[in-house]
Amino acid sequence: MKKNNQLLVLTHLSQLLDLVAGFGGFIVPLLLWLVNKEKVYRMDIHGKSIINFQLSMLFYAIIALPLILVFGLGILLLVAIGLLCFILPIVNAVKAGNGEEPNYPFSINFIP
């Protein structure tokens, strides 16, 4: 296994494709993780964290939709999800560049 912090950074930042292109923020990190998890040192940990985060945010967004009818709480939750989906990939890309562990709070471990 080789160490490639640049690919780890790219994997984290690829989540932002949803914001730029409207799609790809789940598929691109998933493909990068699946192709490189046994080739790049620590890719498996970073990839699992990213996929768990993406699935968790999708789950929370689905929960937020009916909550829009309850005093607009769903709108606040969707805004919070949007902020997390923008800020946390950048923070974790910087951590990956420094060789640190990824940390995505509020993530459910769908993939242990």
What pLDDT digit, counting tens, does each position of 46-101 carry?
Answer: 999 999 999 999 999 999 999 988 878 899 999 999 999 999 999 999 999 999 99
Identify whether 51 is part of a domain.
Answer: yes
Q: How many CB atoms lie within 10 A of CB 112?
A: 5
pLDDT at residue 18 tops 80? yes
Identify whether 79 is part of a domain.
Answer: yes
Structural domain for 37, as ranges: 5-97
pTM (two decimals) = 0.93
Identify whether 70 is part of a domain.
Answer: yes
Sign (positive/negative) of CA torsion 65, 67, 70, 76? negative
Cβ-contact 16, 86 below 8 angstroms: yes
> For the chain, what is the mean pLDDT?
94
Identify whether 44 is part of a domain.
Answer: yes
Identify whether 106 is part of a domain.
Answer: no
Domain total of the chain: 1
Identify whether 105 is part of a domain.
Answer: no
Band of residue 21 on the pLDDT scale cut at 50, 70, 90: confident
Identify whether 33 is part of a domain.
Answer: yes
From the list 6, 16, 18, 91, the residue with the least C-alpha distance to 43 is 6
Identify whether 104 is part of a domain.
Answer: no
